[in-house]
Amino acid sequence: KIDRLAGWLEAGNAPPLRHLAYTMYRRAQVDRADASLTLTLVASSLVDLRQMLAMARSELLAGADLVLNPQGIYFAEEPLGLAGKVAFLYPGQGSQYPNMLADLVMQFPWLGEPFEHANRLAAGQLPRPLSEYVYPAPAHDAKMAKKQRAQLTDTRVAQSALGAAGLAVSRFLAEVGLQPDFVAGHSYGELVALCRAGVFDQDALQKISLARGRFMAEATGPDSGTMAAVIANQATVEEIVCELSDVTIANLNSPRQTVISGTTAAIERAVELFVQRGIQAKRIPVACAFHSPLVEPAQNRLAQLLETVEFNPPQTSVYSNTLGGPYPDDPAEIRAVLSQQLARPVRFTEEIKNLYAAGARIFVEAGPRSVLTGLVHQILGNLPHLAVSVDSGGRGLLDVQRALAQIIAIGTDIDLSVLFKGRDVREINLNAPYTDPARAAYGPTTWLVNGGRARRWLDVERGQPEPVVQPLDVSLAGARLAGPRATPNPAPPPKQPALAPAPGMPVGQLPAAPTRTATNMPGVAAPPVVHGNATVQVMVQTQQLMARFLQMQASVMSSYLDNAPEAPAPAPPDVPVAQPAAIPRHAEPLHAEPVVVLKRPPRPHINQPAAAPSPILRFTLTATDAPVIDATAGLAPGRAVLIAADAYGVAEQTAAMLREQGYDAVILHNRPARSANGNGVNGFNGNGRAAQPDNWHYAATLTDAADVESALAAVRREHQAIGSLLYLAALKPAQPFAELTLAGWQQSIEGDLVGFFNVLQGVQADLASAAAAGGSCLLAATQMGGDFAVGDGKASGFSPTQASIAGLLKTAAHEMPAVRAKVVDFGAVDDIVQAAAAVLAETGAADDLTEVGYRDGIRTMIAVRQAPVDSHQVAIPAIDDASVVLVTGGARGITASVVQELAERYRPTVILAGRSQAPPEQEAAETAGLTTAREIKAALLSGMSNQGKPAALAEVEAAYQRLLREREMRGNLRRLRRTGARVEYHSLDVRDEAAFAALINSVYERFGRLDGVIHGAGVIEDKLIKDKTIDSLRRVVSTKLDSAFVLSRMLRPESLKFLVFFSSVSGRFGNRGQGDYAAANEVLNKLAVLLDQDWPGHVVSINWGPWDAGMVSDELRRQFQERGVSLVPVDVGCQRLVEEINAGRPGEAEVLICGEDNQVMAQSHQRTAIKKQI
C-alpha cells in the first residue's frame, strides 16, 4: 500500500492534501475489518508526505515492530490498544499559559463553551471575564507578555482556567470517540477528573475552582510559601528534608523528581543544601506552598464548601493523589478524601503504577502542555505504554493530530470525521490521474495573487515560468514605491506558542512548472451590443464597461510583469559570491529598518563577476520567529548518538526518544573530579563508565582531554562507532554573575568551553565518517533565554560563558561542512519532554539555520538589522579634553589608529595598556636611520658578533621583529602626544588580575575619574579545531575574557560613560580556523549585553569586519576582494567607533560594523555537502 500511494504521487499527481487525507480515512473505514495493523502519518504537504512514505517503508523493511517517530510516522506490530485500557490525565496549576488550546477552540468553536460557562459563573468574582485572561489581547512587548502570564498564574484565575481547558479537551476526545476507562489528575487536575467522571457537574467544578483559588490566596498570610523541584528520588529527599524545619514533601512526581513545599526562607535553605550535596534543585514559580501545612486554613474552608456540593458515584474509575489508588464509590467517602487533598502530598508515582497494574496502557494528557506525559514516561520507563498529549509542544492542531495518529496506530478505534466536518473535501480516485475540476472555471482574466506577486492563470497552465524578482537591496536607497504608502499593521493575533520546528511542518512551495513558450494574453473583447429595451441596454453598457475594466487590469498586470527584473542565470552549487540579503520570511512594513535574515544567500552563476564590496554599515541583532522545518535528514545507521548529560534530565529524555526510534543513544556524564586514588566519585567509577546497571551511561571529567578520550574509547568498544554528538551539558542553573570571582569566571569558561572542545575534538573524525555514511549531527544546547540574549526582553541571570559554545560550534560548521551543525538556545527548562522534543527536531532539521532558539515554545532565530546612528544629533560628545580613557591592546595596529583618532578630535588623557615593553626614547645608534630589512639585519648581526653572541639566524630575525615593533610604538606614541593629548603607556599582562586592577585603581586615585574604556586586547593563534591544543585555546580565550571580567569588577559604572569591547564577526558567524577566537568574542558579546542591562553608561561589543590594516597582506586582500568581502578602511573604522561612543543607543549592546557581504564569508562553506545529500 505504501508503494502504491508513493508511486501514484511520484507520477505527478498533486491533489489538495485534505482530499487525499479524506480519501485515505474513508478507505481505512472500509478496510478496518480486514486490517489488523495500521500505519498513520501526519503530513503537512505533499513533499512532506512523500518523504514520510519513504521513511516508513525503510523502517518496516528493516523489521521495526514499533515506530513512534516524532516527525509524524506511527506503527505498532503489537497494538496496545487491542487489550490495553485508556486513562485520561488532567494537569494541575503551572501548565496553564496564555492562548492555550487556541487553535483547537478556533477550529471547533463549540469547544469554547466551557470558557463561556466559566465566564458566567465567575462574573463578579474576577475583575474581568475568565476568557480574557486565557485569550488576552496581543502583547505589544515582552513586559506586557510577562504581565499576562503572571495574571493567568494567579491561583484565583489559573484553577478555573485549567478546569475549562480540561473540559474542552474532554469534549473533543469524546467527539472523536475516545472514552477513558480511568481518569486522574495532578493536584488541581483531580477536580477536573472527578467532574469528567460525573461525581459533580460543570457548575460545581467552577464553583469549587473559584473558591479553592480564593481560599488559597487569602489563607497563606504574609508568607505564602513556595515550592522547589529536586532531581532525586523520594528516599534521598526525605533524608535531607528531615534535617530541615518548615519543609515537607509535596509531590512524588516520578522516580527522578520530587517536589518540596514550605516557607520561602526554608525552601531557599533547602535548595542551598541540596546543591551543596551535588543534587539539582530549583525553585518553582508558584503562587503558594501547595500540599503543605501552610495551606491547611484553605483546606478547612474548602472542606466546608464541599459539604454544599452534591456528589454522585463515579461513572468512570477516578484515581486519587492522596490515596495513590482509586476513589471509593460512596459519594460521602469521595468528599472526605477530596477534603484532605489540598494539604496532603501528591503520590503521583504510586498513582500511575497502580493505573498500570489495573490495565491502563494508553495515557492521554487532556489539557495544556505535556508535563504529565513526561512524568508517565519517567515512571513507567521501558514498560509497554503510550503517553500522549494534545498540546505536547504548543503546535496547535498538529499536536492534536499527532496524538490521535499515535492512538490509532496502537489499535484504538477513533472517529476522525469531526476533522472533515464542514470542510470542502471529497474522495478521489487513486487508480487514475488526478484532475482538479475547479480548473475549468478559470478563464483569461484569472490571476493568482499571494500578497507579494501576481501571475496569470493561463501562464501557469501553459507552463510559463514565474518571473524571478531580484532580492531587495536592504538599503532601500533611492527606492520609489508605487501605490499607497504602507502603514503599520495592527497588533498581530496572539501567537500560538509552538514547538514549531518539528519535522513535517509545511514546506510552503509548489513544484516548479515545466518551462514552455507561452503566448501573450489575448485582449478581452467587448460583447456585442444587442438593441432592446432600456434595461437590456443598461446591461449591455455594464458588460462593455466591465470588459474595458478587465482589459485595463490585464494591461496593468502585464506591464508590471514585463518591467520586472530578469531572473538571474541558474547558479551552480559551489561558488560563494556576495548577494544582497533576502527579504525575511516575516517581513516588516516598508517604512521599517531593513532586516537581513542570517541564512545562506543564493549563489550566482559561475561566470558572474564577484559583487563589489558593500559599504561599511552598522547592524544590530534581533530575535525573530524562525520558519518551520521544511526539510529533514537522517543519521547514519548503526552508529551511537552520544549525548552529554545536563542538569535537568533532558539528555535522558532525548535518549529515550531516540531509542524508541531505533537509534543507539548513549549518555556521557560529567565526572566532577577524580579522587586522589583515582576512584570514581558521585556515582561514577574510574574507567569511563557511569555506575549504572546498563551500557548506556559513561562518565568523564569533561575538562580533562585524556579522561574524555578514555570514555569515548569505551563507547566505541561497546557501540561500534559514534555517529552524532548532542552536547547538552550547558543546560544547568547559572551561578549569578554578580557572585562570581575571577576564579569562578575561569572555572565557568572551563566547564562550558573546554568541556565542549574536548568532546568535540574527540569525536570530530567520527562525525565526518558518519556524515559520509548517511548523516551526522553536531548539536549543542545553551541556556541564554531562548533567543541568545538578543530578544526584546533580554535574558537576565544567564551565564555569558555559555556563548563560547555557540562560537566554537559555528566555527565547527565551517570546518565540518558535511555535518549538520546546530546550537539550540533555551530559556527556563521547565518541561524536559518539550525540551527533548526540540532537541530531537533540530537534530533532524536540514535547514540553513545554525542558531535556533526556543522562547516560550516558539522557534526563534537571529536576524541582523541595519541600525545606523545619527551622530549629528549628539549635543554633548561622550569625550572631551578633560576625559580620561583607558585603552587595552597596546600602542600598535588598530588600537593605535583609533586612539590617534580620539586624540586628534578631543585631546583627552589616554592610558594605554599592553604586553610589550615600552620602547626606549631613542633607538640604538647602530640601527637608527637604517630602512631596509637587509641593512637592519646586518647591523643586528654585527652587534651580536661584537658582543660574542652566536649569530643564529632565528635570533637575528627575532631581534629584527622586536625592533620593528619598538619603532611602530615609538612613532605612534610621539604622534599621539603631538596632538596635545596626555598619553601614558603601561606595560602589563591584562590577564594578571592584581596588576590590571592596580592600574585601574591608580587611574581613579590620580585623576579622580575614568570616563571610558576601549578593550582591544586579544591574541590570535589560528588552527583548525582538530589541530588546536588546549594550551593555545586557553591563551586566546583568557587574554580577551579574563581582562574583560576584571574590568567588570574594577570599573565604577556610576561614573563611566562608555565601555567598548572590540569583538569580531568571527564570533557572530564563526570562521574556519578561529574556533577559540570566535568563542572568546561571543562571550565578550554576551558580557556586554549583561552589563548594559545594569550599567547607566553605554556598554557595547563591536563585532568588526576585517580591517584593511597592516595585518591584511596583499594576498589576503586579493582573496577578500575575489569573494566580495568588504574590508573596513582604517579611517572609516575610526569614524564608526567615534559614532558608537557618542551616539550608540542603550540596549544595543551587540553591534556589527562591517559590510553586508561579511555574511558570505561566514556562511560560504556551511551547507554545500548536506544540500547535495538532500
Residue from 187, 209, 261, 776 carrying the catalytic annotation: 187
Is residue 982 within 8 Å of residue 909, measured between CB atoms? yes
Is residue 1007 within 8 Å of residue 955, measured between CB atoms? no
Residues 6+ positions from 197 with CB-CB distance below 8 Å: 183, 314, 315, 316, 317, 318
Is residue 402 within 8 Å of residue 392, measured between CB atoms? yes
Q: Is 533 helix (H, G, I), strand (E, B) or coil?
A: coil
Residue from 291, 719, 986, 1098 carrying the catalytic annotation: 291
What backbone phi and psi angles, to 5 degrees, belong to 698? -135, 165
Residues 6+ positions from 467 with CB-CB distance below 8 Å: 453, 455, 561, 564, 567
Residues 6+ positions from 34 with CB-CB distance below 8 Å: none
Is residue 270 within 8 Å of residue 231, measured between CB atoms? no
CA distances from 644 to 33, 221, 528, 724, 851 (A): 47, 44, 79, 11, 19
- Count Cβ atoms below 10 Å from residue 293 Cβ, excluding itself: 15
Q: Quick check: is 291 catalytic?
A: yes
Cell of 1088: 556586554
Closest CA to 88 of 394, 349, 362, 401: 362
Q: Give 661-696 as a DSSP string.
A: TT--EEEEEE-----TTS---TTB-SSSBBS-SSSS
| Alpha-helical runs (H) found in 563-605 | none
Region of 1150 on the Ramachandran plot (φ > 0 left; ψ -120 to 50 alpha; else beta): beta
Closest CA to 567 of 601, 512, 604: 604
Residues 6+ positions from 435 with CB-CB distance below 8 Å: none
- Count Cβ atoms below 10 Å from residue 1036 Cβ, excluding itself: 23
Whole-angstrom Cα distance, residue 27 to residue 50? 19
Closest CA to 923 of 957, 854, 890, 970: 970
Is residue 364 within 8 Å of residue 407, measured between CB atoms? yes
Is residue 639 within 8 Å of residue 775, measured between CB atoms? no
Task: Say what the alpha-carbon torsion angle 812, 813, 816, 818 is, to the nearest 10 degrees.
Answer: 160
Region of 749 on the Ramachandran plot (φ > 0 left; ψ -120 to 50 alpha; else beta): alpha
Whole-angstrom Cα distance, residue 970 to residue 964? 10
Rg (CA), the chain: 34
Cell of 628: 518551520
Whole-angstrom Cα distance, residue 854 to residue 838? 8
What backbone phi and psi angles, to 5 degrees, belong to 648? -105, -20
| Amino acid (1-letter code) at residue 491 | A
Task: Identify the residue whose cell numbers are 559604572.
Answer: 1053
Is residue 796 within 8 Å of residue 1094, measured between CB atoms? no
Whole-angstrom Cα distance, residue 281 to residue 279? 6
| Alpha-helical runs (H) found in 410-456 | 417-420
Per the document, the length of the chain is 1174
Residue 1044 belongs to what H/E stretch? helix 1030-1050
Whole-angstrom Cα distance, residue 121 to residue 140? 30
Is residue 1037 within 8 Å of residue 1076, measured between CB atoms? yes
Is residue 785 within 8 Å of residue 795, measured between CB atoms? yes
Q: Quick check: is 187 catalytic?
A: yes
Residue 75 belongs to what H/E stretch? strand 73-76
Query: Which residues are known catalytic residues?
Result: 187, 291
